[in-house]
A and B are shown apart, each in its own frame.
Chain A
Amino acid sequence: MSRRRPLPAARPALAPATRILAPTRPAPAEIPAAEVDLTVDLGRGLVLPNPILVASGTFGYGVEYGEVVDVDRLGGICCKGTTLRARIGNPTPRVTETPGGMLNSIGLQNPGVDALIEKYAATWMTWRTPVLVNVAGESVHEYVEVVRRLDGVPGVAGIELNISCPNVGMGGLQFAIDAGAAGEVTAAVRRATDLPLLVKLSPNVADIRPIARAIADAGADALTAINTLSGIAVAPDRRRPLLGNVYGGLSGPAVKPVALRIVYEAAQVVKIPVIAIGGVTELADVLDFLAVGAVAVQVGTAIFADPTLPLRLVDELAIECSRRGMATYRDLIGSALPARTGRPSAKGVEYRP
């Protein structure tokens, strides 16, 4: 508790007798944890009940952890990457542990968008927690086609675009590493749907700022950052790379500093909200990401070790705000950003000229 905290202006003067007995330090105006406002408004009517989401690929379609986790208390669920047609994914091994993290190369194994809608949308509709469908594709047309099928499906609360896929039309270069391609696919999807549109940034770029700007200008409602870092591991016999697909994506606590840097940079150049992903394992990580401008965080790899972590973070964040006397967690956002940039937007931009 800070001694420098000013007394509330409206505090009534105390009678002299009381003043002697009064504590030397003013008690912070505590707000009951249950009354702290944790809601996140991402625009287009998408309001998350709290800023703790689960990251794509780590929580399946939300039903897998059903016996262990009360999904209705999560802030949001990003489901596994979904493509137009079913994909069988990459050869095994697909995952391996690395110091402070893990590599994965699942290869977007999924049943395809139509089967996804048929199997899961009805369940999602019954949940209070918004489900964002993570969409991947190999061409702009494929992204648009998937999103078009998701548009208007009850139970689908929004889209998270995974643009870290090779663009077949551009010689296999990823959409995410080129501002032009990233903006193009975002704009095309934007025209195809009114659903809230989140776009996931790749950290495997020289400078994230022009890309973030291009995506925001193309009409995304929010950015999510970061996708995994590209890496490889070597098999124990040292005769070949370990993963069946050679390349994998690094996630876990090891990538947190990179994620902080990218959120810090992106939050300063765009007006739309940024949702942070990367190595969240405890409340301190959530507070760090909020401080560099994120409005919400996604928990990913840590779920494998502790499936109940996201719900615990929701409770801990409310208690932290209550302890600091904050009526809303939004007061925590952007405190570590340079002063001149001002507070980043915690609200979606619904209308733009």
Chain B
Amino acid sequence: MRPAAAELVDSREILPGQWLQAYHAPDLAVGSRAGQFVHVRTGDFSGMVLRRPFSLNTVDAATGTVTIHFRVFGRGTEWFTRLRPGDQIDLFGPLGRPFEVDPRSRHLLLVAGGLGIAGVRMLADEAIRAGRQVTLLFGAASAREVYPSTLLPDEVEYVVATDDGSLGHRGFVTALVPDYEAWADQAFACGPAPMLAALARLAAGRRGRLGVAKLGRKRGGGRTDPTGSPAARRKAFLQVSMEQNMGCAVGACLGCVVMTMSGTPQRVCREGPVFAAEEIAWEGGW
């Protein structure tokens, strides 16, 4: 975890206003896990004083490249689109805690809303490498914003929902989840807060509806892992990757917190961005 120079290798607009950029950053490419993020500095400090956090979209240890996927939202993201191959930027990472997959999970359900795909994309690679089956449920406003299937590994089952029905299921992606929750051993989601809250409600009712055994019963029976620890998250059915306006990204400024059920705000950059769904106070709590 150090600020390090990275060279832009490839930059393209994969969807209207959405960019995929590949950077040569060998240290990041070997040491990062799905769910972690990088904090990237813009070239114009006097105008834009904050770094920008991006999920690590994919990493390739063989070539030493990492990719980020973002939507042009303001001046910072606009600045990144004007970079050309060969340009150097300052990547700080990997930061945050990764997704925790239970070693016994065979079937992983990934749920992504819009740009939330960037948060779970790398987990698909990791899971397939580990021989797991992956279904990705993807929701977007319309067909023109649907993540291209060519950018996904062939092994992933890809199911799409659009709000206007222009492609796939008509309606929210959360409506697809009940079809898969019996199949899935664990679920991982990233997207808008209302989508994550709806998924958390589904996950909370899942055990009652399906009568499925809770993961982690056999080993270490009777022992409860402290909330928020990697072991506790590994046993959670649903893990979510949270988003928040961020300052320092190392836990110093307390800018990027989310309220948790314990009543204490937790830092997205340090305790997150991945949380077990039951850790989060979805109704707020301030």
Q: Which residues of A contact B (CB under 8 A)?
A: 57-60, 64-65, 67-68, 80, 88-97, 99-102, 104, 106, 109, 244, 252-253, 281, 301-308
Contact between B264 and A88, CB atoms less than 8 A apart: yes
Contact between A95 and B247, CB atoms less than 8 A apart: yes
Contact between B250 and A102, CB atoms less than 8 A apart: no
User: B256 an interface residue at 8 Å Cβ cutoff?
Assistant: yes
User: B38 an interface residue at 8 Å Cβ cutoff?
Assistant: no
Contact between A104 and B247, CB atoms less than 8 A apart: yes
Q: B120 CB to closest chain A CB, in angstroms?
A: 22
Contact pick for A304, options B50, B245, B251, B257, CB 8 Å: B50
* B:194-250 near A, CB below 8 Å: 244-250
Which residues of chain B come closer than 8 Å to A88, judged between CB atoms? 259, 263-265, 286
Which residues of chain A come closer than 8 Å to B45, judged between CB atoms? 253, 281, 302, 305-306
With A95-B253, A109-B265 as known contacts, state yes or no: A68 contacts B1, CB within 8 Å. Answer: yes
* B:247-279 near A, CB below 8 Å: 247-259, 263-265, 270
Contact between B1 and A94, CB atoms less than 8 A apart: no
Q: What is the CA–CA distance of A92 and B258 in the complex, to the nearest angstrom?
A: 7
Q: List 15 A-B contacts (CB under 8 A).
A: A60-B248, A60-B252, A64-B248, A65-B252, A88-B265, A90-B286, A95-B50, A95-B256, A96-B245, A97-B48, A102-B49, A244-B286, A305-B51, A306-B3, A308-B3
Interface residues on B, range: 20 to 34
Contact between A304 and B49, CB atoms less than 8 A apart: yes
With A67-B1, A303-B248, A305-B45 as known contacts, state yes or no: A60 contacts B253, CB within 8 Å. Answer: yes
- Consensus secondary structure, chain B interface: loop
Which residues of chain A come closer than 8 Å to B251, judged between CB atoms? 60, 64
Q: What is the CA–CA distance of A196 and B245 in the complex, to the nearest angstrom?
A: 36
- Consensus secondary structure, chain A interface: loop
Q: What is the CA–CA distance of A95 and B267 in the complex, to the nearest angstrom?
A: 13
Contact between A100 and B255, CB atoms less than 8 A apart: no
User: B41 an interface residue at 8 Å Cβ cutoff?
Assistant: yes
Q: A255 CB to closest chain B CB, in angstroms?
A: 11
Specify which of B46, B246, B264 lies most central, judged by the most chain A CB atoms within 10 Å of its CB. Answer: B46
Contact pick for B245, options A58, A94, A301, A306, CB 8 Å: A94
Contact pick for B51, options A109, A252, A253, A304, CB 8 Å: A304
Contact pick for B257, options A65, A94, A281, CB 8 Å: A94
Which residues of chain A come closer than 8 Å to B47, judged between CB atoms? 99-100
With A64-B248, A104-B247 as known contacts, state yes or no: A94 contacts B51, CB within 8 Å. Answer: no
Contact pick for B46, options A80, A89, A253, A304, CB 8 Å: A253
Q: What is the CA–CA distance of A306 and B247 in the complex, to the nearest angstrom?
A: 12
Contact between B254 and A89, CB atoms less than 8 A apart: yes
User: B84 an interface residue at 8 Å Cβ cutoff?
Assistant: no
- What is the chain A residue whose CB lies nearest that of B244? A92
With A93-B245, A109-B265 as known contacts, state yes or no: A301 contacts B49, CB within 8 Å. Answer: yes
Contact between B255 and A68, CB atoms less than 8 A apart: no
User: B12 an interface residue at 8 Å Cβ cutoff?
Assistant: no
With A91-B284, A102-B247, A106-B254 as known contacts, state yes or no: A97 contacts B50, CB within 8 Å. Answer: yes
Contact between A68 and B2, CB atoms less than 8 A apart: yes
Q: A76 CB to closest chain B CB, in angstroms?
A: 16
Which residues of chain B come closer than 8 Å to A303, judged between CB atoms? 248, 252
